Structure 1
Amino acid sequence: MNAVTPAATAAPARPVVLGRAALATRVGAAAAAPAPVRIVHLGLGAFHRAHQAWYTAHATDAAGWGIAAFTGRDPHAAEVLAAQDGLYTLVERIDAGDRVEVVTSIVEAHDGADVARLAELVASDQVAIVTLTITEAGYRLRHDGTAELDDPDVAADLARLRAAAGALAGARPRTALGRLLVALDARRASGGAPIAVVSCDNMPDNGERLRRGIRSLAALVSEPLLHWIDGSVSFVSTSVDRITPRLESVDIPAVRAAGWIDVAPVVTEPFRDWVLSGDFPAGRPDWASAGARFVDDIEPWEFRKLWLLNGAHSILAYAGMRRGHATVAQAIADPECRSLVERFHDEAVAVLPVGVEHDDYRAQLIARFSNAAIAHRLDQIAADGADKMRYRIAAVAERSVAAGGSFHASAAALATWIGWVLAGGAAPEARAADVRRAAAASDPVEALVALVSPTLAAHPAFVAAVRERVAAVAVAAADRSTPADPGTLHEPVPS
């Protein structure tokens, strides 16, 4: 185990800057020493540090598994973390107070634009795993899982990769999948051993969708690379769960009380869950010793979490902001918002695979959402609504319609986003141009439904139910302040 808890350290009279040398004075040089890099991660954000990095640090064989993490477009997270030798404090927050630990599993932090270092690391047989937390929108995939070639960044990357003609490392792609393709080609060219690639984002069957996406790019760039991927890359699917809000301030009293000055802390809840399905041909940490589960069929776990937790979060975000709330805890305390969530949950569990436990999980979720100590802001959850609603809400509605069951709660859930967009709601949105185009259509409700699900848009009764709910909420919200102009939807800057 490479995480350092308060009980293992004696806080000095005055806080000191967090780093491995400072940590060594408290826990000894061996405990503070960096582990060898065996995992490469794309998407250095708070969730990765609260989840996969935490599990790696708490594995019984943590001393043998270090992580080299790369940001998306913004290098800031890598810069501040590198200055602390990859160390950061993780704060578990409940109403009763904060618990602080130092997490040591990240040993390198890099700007995502440093594709040369990424390729160098993945080419090494010492590296066994590549993990990703790049958000649903960061994959830039079509509904069928193939690369979205109409996306300007994907098209630009494809042109660069094709022009590189056998020397992909010089292409300097900007998208996560473009960078991953370069890294995998470097491993192929070096004669590297098979490797596992693990998606840790909130998409159903995320490993298979990543496989389709990377294969579709490889097929357009390099036939030898495509064949190597088919024979040497295992795509692992996961379900991940730990509520980790973005921080408003890095000055946390509990961190200072523990004796540290940390400019890159993470605040999260005590609850965590990780379910994985797939092969690790070059090995993996003993994540099971930290509580992870390995299963043959991950679909039930993916759907339970994606629909019940993430779906509820999206409902609370769009309905809550229109009712004047700022955080998840505030929104779930509003009877109207809670009713929307509970009715959607009723429809979602009706289409979950048979035998999946959900009663206790639903009760846990309400308690977790009600944790006022976790200031999980609704405007942060609202980002990239077009992709999120496809996986979190429309997937339930499609199954309910196909089964001949009730779909009105799902229609009301989708209407929270559509009504918010049409009322001028603004948030970072990877598909901002598509959302604006749909909102300006002659029938914007149908166009926005079609944006997340062509199947549902072709179902008149479902569209009518959404339209009715959008109109009812608009009337109820008429006396509330109007959000910003919908034209302020803008491209996100991934972490």
Structure 2
Amino acid sequence: MSPRLSRAGFGRPAAPVKMVHLGIGNFTRAHQAWYTEHAPNAAEWGIAAFTGRRPDTAEALAPQDGLYTLITREASGDRFEVISSLSKVHASTENDAFLAYLAAPETAVITSTVTEAGYMRAPDGHLDVANERVAADIEALKADPRAVCATTPLKLVSGFLARRAAGVTSGITVLPCDNLPENGKAFSTVVIDGATAVDPSLAEWMAENVSWATCMVDRITPATTDEERAAVEAACGYTDASPVPTEPFAEWVVSGNFIAGRPAWEEAGVTIVDDVTPFEERKLWMLNGSHSLMAYAATIKGFETVADAINDPVVRGWVNEWWDVAGANLSVPSDEYRAKLIDRFENPRIRHLLAQIAADGSQKIPVRIVPALRAEVAAGRLPDGPLRAIAAWIQHLRGNGAPVKDAQADTVLALVGADLASTVDNVLGWLDADLAANADVVKRVNELAEDLVS
């Protein structure tokens, strides 16, 4: 029987914890942890990672001392690499451990991948204090600053309460790594709102002791299957309960002041800039936007993966239509990035499920599709690319294609009317009142939605 992956025989010694990550999953392990592994000072920057709601990753990695195998799936074959960046892995319920890390002066960086839905934002971008879970966390922290919180913004508030109580003034930086425009600003808004609701003086303390960074992240990383586990054992001679398959391409663009330091990520290939926005928009619109288009439209045609969908001439035509619009509204060049996307999408060794991408469309369509459509309509144009993506999402909500899995499912499913026309009116009204008031937009979305199921 093959030995199990552990630091006794593989990887490097665990680095001292100086970073805390919330929401550990495959993407972080293929991206931020991988970049940290390749930083020249990686031995000084260990990560303590906490899971989301499910403890599976912690249960798999704790017996492996946080080690896992990254499988880079190239057309010519697989490359296997042991990643040692995760010094500790915890379930999200291990609250005492989380508070202890935040109270430690050595902890200098907090990162997160909690998805767009995890920000708990109201439509105006502020913390959704009307949400039952948010409200419960606020009241719990008012009663007990060490209370276990169910929402990420309030979990961070509890951590900062612990850090202030410990008298730590060495500074700390929060770097969210989710696919949101200006994710640092978005995250800081909801966390500061939470702090203000719990204890206004904490918000003042944070203004002096916490900085917020922003980044754009990019690497296609599917879920792990038994195929990857078997491949690791066959190629490497050990068992790994949670290897991570990923593509060769990776990009990370970071902006911000890390007041207590950070790993030397730029020496591992990270781009450090003053303004992430142009790179965020390029990635959100070109990659994520086309992913959403395929997740809703191509699943109606019966496709399951990105690779299968992009090799269909009709779907590829839809994607190219969208890219024409997205590229025309970007402030940075996109032709080279667009060409690389085709190669990445076509990679037959990356089984990226469209149903997985389809989740949480209520958080994705407004930032991936709507901004470019607004710009086009304002210029007097009515391109099919973004309109088809919205039409496909509408059909998705009506039960066609991938099943609906959305943090705001109750809200968006309530938009489904008795017929297609009423649903189009409702969805467009929810997305953008000006779009809903444009008769040409409404007419064309109805036509494209009909075409998708005809």
Q: Normalising TM by the smaller chain, what interval?
A: over 0.9
Q: Map 1:110-129; keep pairs closer than 5 Å.
A: 110-129=90-109
Stretch of structure 1 that moved more, 357-366 or 460-469 = 460-469
Question: 2:71–2:81: 8 Å Cα contact kept in structure 1?
Answer: yes
**In 2 relative to 1, CA 319–62 (structure 1 residues): closer, same or farther, beyond 3 Å?**
same
What does residue 379 of structure 1 align with?
A: 355
8 Å Cα contact 1:239-1:276 kept in structure 2: yes
1:52 and 2:32 matched: yes
Counterpart of 1:15 in structure 2 is 2
Per-residue deviation at 1:186? 1.3
Find the counterpart in structure 2 of residue 178 from structure 1: 154
Structure 2 partner of 1:26:
none
Contact 1:315 1:416 in 2 (8 A): yes
Deviations 1:74-118 (A, max 9, x none): 111111111100000000002211100000000100111222211
Q: Distance in 2 between matches of 1:235 and 1:455?
A: 33
Give yes or no for contact 2:232–2:240 (8 Å, CA) kept in 1: no
Secondary structure of the corresponding residue to residue 297 of structure 1: coil
Mapped contact 2:255–2:275 kept (Cα < 8 A): yes
Q: 1:459 to 1:221 in 2, by over 3 A?
A: farther
Question: Is this contact kept in 1: 2:154–2:195, CA < 8 A?
Answer: no
Residue of 201, 217, 225 corresponding to 2:178:
201
1:305: which partner in 2?
283
Per-residue deviation at 1:398? 2.0
Deviations 1:204-262 (A, max 9, x none): 01000111111111111111111112222111110000000012325232443212200
Taking structure 2 as the reference length, the TM-score comes to: 0.95
Q: Which residue is equivalent to 1:187? A: 163
1:399 Cα offset (Å): 2.5
- Which residue is equivalent to 2:411? 434
Question: Is this contact kept in 1: 2:232–2:238, CA < 8 A?
Answer: no
SS in structure 1 of the partner of residue 415 of structure 2: helix
Residue 70 of structure 1: aligned partner? 50
Number of the residue aligned with 1:408? 384
Residue deviations 1:422-463, cap 9 Å, x none? 134423210110122111367211212233334433433323
Distance 1:182 1:468, change over 3 A: same
TM-score when normalising by structure 1 = 0.88
State percent identity of aligned pairs.
Answer: 43
Cross-structure match for 2:435: 456
Counterpart secondary structure, 2:414? helix
**Cα distance in structure 2, aligned partners of 1:294 and 1:22:** 35
| Distance across 1 between alignment mates of 2:205 and 2:375 | 36
Judge conservation of contact 1:408–1:462 (CA < 8 Å) in 2. Answer: no
Divergent runs of 4+, >4 A: none
Worse-matched range after superposition: 325-334 or 445-454? 445-454
1:460 and 1:212 map into 2 onto residues whose CA distance is 35
Letter of the 2:438 partner, please give it.
H
Q: Residue in 1 aligned with 2:127?
A: 147
* 1:480 corresponding residue in structure 2: none
In 2, the alpha carbon distance for the partners of 1:335 and 1:70 equals 42
Stretch moving more, 142-151 or 174-183: 142-151
User: What is the CA distance between 1:386 and its match in structure 2?
Assistant: 1.1
Unaligned runs of 5+ in 1: 1-13, 24-30, 477-495
Of residues 365, 370, 373, the one that matches 1:397 is 373
Change (3 A) 1:400 1:228: farther
Q: Counterpart of 1:34 in 2: which secondary structure?
A: coil
Report the number of matched residues.
449
| 1:98–1:254 contact (8 Å) kept in structure 2 | no
Counterpart in 1 of 2:257? 279
Compute the RMSD of aligned alpha carbons. Answer: 1.6
Correspondence 1:237 to 2:217: no
Distance 1:265 1:453 in 2: 42
Stretch of structure 1 that moved more, 263-272 or 457-466: 457-466
Matched residues in 2 for 1:430 and 1:441: separation? Answer: 23
2:426 equivalent among 434, 447, 450: 447
Q: Distance in 2 between matches of 1:161 and 1:464?
A: 49
Q: Contact 1:38–1:126 at 8 Å: present in 2 too?
A: yes
The one-letter code matched in structure 2 to 1:416 is A
Give CA-to-partner distance per residue, 1:353-389, whole Å, 9 cap, x none: 2xx1210100000110000110001111111111111
Query: 1-side partners of 2:21 and 2:83: how far apart?
Result: 16
Structure 1 CA distance for aligned equivalents of residues 375 and 120 of structure 2? 24
Superposed displacement of residue 120, structure 1: 0.9
Does the aligned pair in 2 maintain the 1:441–1:447 contact within 8 Å? no
Output the amino acid matched with 1:328: V
Judge conservation of contact 1:122–1:184 (CA < 8 Å) in 2: yes
CA distance in 2, matches of 1:224, 1:255: 53
1:136 paired residue among 100, 116, 139: 116
